Amino acid sequence: MMYFGDYTLIYNALPFPGWLLALVIIWTVPWKGAALWRAARNRQKIWFCILLVVNSLAILEILYLKFWQRKKDITEQNLGQNKQNGQSAPAEQKTATQAKI
């Protein structure tokens, strides 16, 4: 039985070199973070869940960022419309709310 208080036993139990695990983590975490950030900002709940659960050594994350994300964030689209109209974001939201009343 392995004693988990000593990290050398865990390190020696890996079927591959420990530096390879560190390299995979360093490669995967930034890609996963960027893809999850974009999916959340674009309100793509299904993509967010898929990216959160599936570990593909960042292949799925790179494909999502390259092909399946929306070209602009929803907030960026709103800000672009506000700048064209000469309004700030709260003012446009206020006028949209007033229009509903």
Asked if residue 69 is part of any domain, the answer here is yes
* The model scores a pTM over 0.75: no
Tell me phi and psi for residue 74, to 5 degrees. -60, -40
User: CA 38, CA 68: separation in Å to the nearest integer?
Assistant: 10
Range of the domain at 68: 7-100
- Per-residue pLDDT tens digits for 5-48: 556 666 677 788 878 888 999 999 999 999 999 999 999 999 99
Asked if residue 2 is part of any domain, the answer here is no
Give the chain's domain count: 1
| Token pair of 53 as six digits | 């659960």
Tell me phi and psi for residue 55, to 5 degrees. -105, 115
